[in-house]
Chain A
Amino acid sequence: MTQYDIAVIGGGNAALCAAMTAAEAGAKVLILETAPKAYRGGNSRHTRNFRCMHKAPLGPLVEAYSEDEYFDDLMKVTKGKTDEKLARLAIRSSEECLPWMEDHGVRFQPSLSGTLSLARTNAFFMGGGKSLVNAYYRKAAKLGVDVLYEAAVTHFELEGDNIAWVDYTHAGQSHRITPKSVVVASGGFQADTDWLTRAWGPAARNFLIRGTPYNRGVVLADLLKQGVNQVGDADQCHAVAIDGRAPKFDGGIVTRLDCVPFSIVVNKDAERFYDEGEDVWPKRYAIWGRLVAAQPDQVGHVVIDSKSINLFMPSVFPPLKADTLEELAEMMDIDGSKLTSTVEEFNASCGDTSAFHPTELDGVATSGLTPAKSNWARPITEPPFYGYSLRTGVTFTYLGLKVDENAQCSTSDGAIKNLWAAGETMAGSILGQGYLAGYGMTIGTVFGRIAGREAAAYAS
């Protein structure tokens, strides 16, 4: 059996960046990916872009996006809960990542239709994240990296400041390997509903998981149990409001709904609970995951009328459609007369709508209504009426491994000399809460490369 210098746990973007970097430094690398080949790549297969600093137009990116502006954008969404040193390291390194990614087979495309607001800040992968993952597996194979699919790591043996061995199962057999260095890049624990329920309470049973069902946090739990330093709160995660009919796992991008700003959203008691028009949707969709999670049965119902049906990106599932609000309420399994009175109350509080503008903050607001709707508030009057259900969709959890600027893990006694972490499993080291579109892939690429570099240097 081959003696590997480095074992990389996980098979997504961060794992592949680490593996390729280490292999280029001369190390013999084994990737242990718990998913079968068809589902390889973790959450990376569902991604579409990465956020990239640039001083001048770069690849598909227009104009410039400075380190400070990028950092300010991050601070706005995390409300200051950010490790500035690591965040700035990721931001600064992102610029050199783009040509590196191209060298390793990734191809970019212009900002997708419907996402023009990201053309300056986010570089879109042609074909999306799965094509990035495919390109990296091709490149890794050329570099001599070995990959085992359906290889589930069960245990790391931590002896003092050293990982002595790694246990995994593959094809029904248990195996033990003793690599010199180990990189953990196996994501969060969101697919383990029991763990999520311990962190969130019973509400978590109703959450949908937007990405891979394989991120169950097995390695993370094993390391935390042995005293490896952790970071982040167990109930912090990237969670958005998605179509309630989405599959339990792996629904990915298509389950998002962009109709909330043109709607009213009610809970199962047919009552509104938040300002639907607070800001443009790309800046608000991530808070709606938590808003819906706080409602009874963790469900929301979107109501729009025929005026608004063509104002947002098409949904993957067709909307509920009815000629009266009563009928729509029946389809949603909520009280029809209550919904009608909620809509009537909302309609009565709408004012002059002549300034309505679907893509800008138009100030078309309600008056005297609680909660208010601050923009795009047009009365819901024109049948047919349309409805969607909303549920909380978790992308990834933030509780993870604490790393330093070398992506190295530690215990309370200091650094573990041969253990590094990259990607979602250590993203909590940077993100305390909130999320900035495309930043996950930036963290994965930057820290994956650092982890690969450090792991190879130690192994040689």
Chain B
Amino acid sequence: MQADLIQEARRQAEICNACRYCEGYCSVFPSLHANRAFTDGDITQLANLCHNCRGCYYACQYTAPHEFDLNLPAALAEVRRDSWESFAWPQPVARKFNTHGGAIVLALVAGFALLFAAIKAIGSAGGEGFYAALSHNAMVAIFAPAFLLPLVSITVGVRRYWREVGGQGLTFSDVSGAFGRAAKMQDLAAGHGEGCNFEDEERFSQGRRQVHQAIMYGFLLCFASTSVATIMHYVFEIPAPYPLFSLPKLFGISGGLLLTAGCLGMVTLKLKSDRALGDTKAWGGDIAFIALLGFVSFSGLALYALGSTAAMPALLAIHLGAVLAFFLLTPFTKMAHGFYRLAALIRDAQRKRLSQ
């Protein structure tokens, strides 16, 4: 962890703790106000609880030009990104993508190349649909490790996080409470439920919450589509391709549309927002990541639409190449935030339970 980032966030948190006006906005402040002094772990936990809704910034009487120069959303955003990078495993790639949008693009191109090469070299083993371009076994050989390795990596990172913030044994209520908050994205709604301050200074709006919901639920539907298809393939021995009125297609199409629209919306909102209230160094990495995610869903839809045309093998390579890059980069891009956020919310539910 970078001591200067933590120290700056601590300086600001100590001012907040003497003020407390923002207590009703989100989970950060009740948690902050429960401390008198802040360990590095406390600051890391606060940083990961913060959803960068910016309500506190626009309400703050101590922002620049005031000499206290508070900008808590930015200070916590920097600590947050640094925490993911510090906990990430393996370390040599930990700091290569969040702050380097170009590296994400390069990874995407490498994904394309790999899939084109695979299709060319391995090709079909006589399967139907997409398997006519690349055999099922080849897909599994590429994507099983590409899915499992990032999961292992994220698990290592989140365990490191949990130790750093002093997490303890879990109860069901800790977890269910946190999932409930995440499902509603309550911390992007402010205490009054009217949303955050993002695209138009201090006007409260549900815009960011809604596009984020579209991304999250779109992604989960796409994930559900793949999971259901895997089960149908292996358990029920019903291999792809699937008709329109099947669970994989219904989940996949609705999820793909939601995810594409959500990513477009998020980039639009980000372009309108004040960059100085976030992690300015991660601006390019964040945009590149959202674009990658949006491209995964868009190319998936395109593949579905044009799956029976001559463009299919090329589209398949492009889509799967993007999926591959996305999976492998999960622990080292903004995608990691979902896991850390959830851990922070669980830890916060636990803190509240233990303090009662």
Contact = CB atoms under 8 A, between A and B. Distances in A.
Contacts of A113: 20, 23, 30, 33
Interface in B43-62: 55-56, 58-62
Contact-residue size bin, chain A (C-beta under 8 Å from the other chain) = 20 to 34
Interface string B9-24: 0000011011111111
For the complex of A and B, 4 pairs with smallest distance between CB atoms: A109-B24, A127-B59, A128-B21, A131-B59
Contacts of B128: none
A45 interface: yes
Interface string A248-264: 00101110100000000
Contact of B22 (A127, A310, A316): A127
A294 to B, nearest CB: 27
B284 to A, nearest CB: 28
Range of interface residues on B (Cβ < 8 Å): 20 to 34
A315 B65 contact: no
Contact of A310 (B23, B36, B61, B202): B36
Given A107-B192, A114-B20, A252-B61, A314 B202 contact: no
A127 B25 contact: yes
A138 B59 CA distance: 13
A315 B59 contact: no
Given A109-B23, A126-B191, A127-B25, A314 B60 contact: no
Given A113-B23, A127-B22, A129-B61, A250 B17 contact: no
12 contacts: A38-B65, A45-B61, A112-B23, A113-B33, A127-B58, A127-B59, A128-B19, A134-B59, A252-B62, A253-B61, A256-B18, A313-B18
A144 interface: no
B59 A110 contact: no
A247 B56 CA distance: 22
B111 to A, nearest CB: 44
Contacts of A48: 21
Contacts of B62: 252, 254
B237 interface: no
Contact of A314 (B36, B59, B64): B36
Contacts of A125: 21
A216 interface: no
Given A112-B21, A127-B21, A253-B19, A316 B14 contact: yes
B66 interface: yes
Interface of B: 14-15, 17-25, 30, 33, 36, 55-56, 58-68, 190-192, 194, 202-203
A92 to B, nearest CB: 27
A317 B190 CA distance: 29
Nearest to A46: B61
Contact of A316 (B18, B23, B61, B64): B18
Interface string A9-51: 0000000000000000000000000000011000001101000
A404 B194 CA distance: 39
B343 to A, nearest CB: 25
Contacts of B36: 310, 314
Given A48-B21, A316-B19, 15 more contacts: A109-B191, A109-B192, A112-B21, A113-B23, A114-B20, A114-B33, A126-B25, A130-B58, A131-B202, A134-B58, A252-B62, A254-B15, A314-B14, A316-B15, A316-B18
Contacts of B22: 127-128
Interface in A158-198: none
A313 B65 CA distance: 26
A310 B34 CA distance: 12
A48 B19 CA distance: 10
Contacts of A310: 36
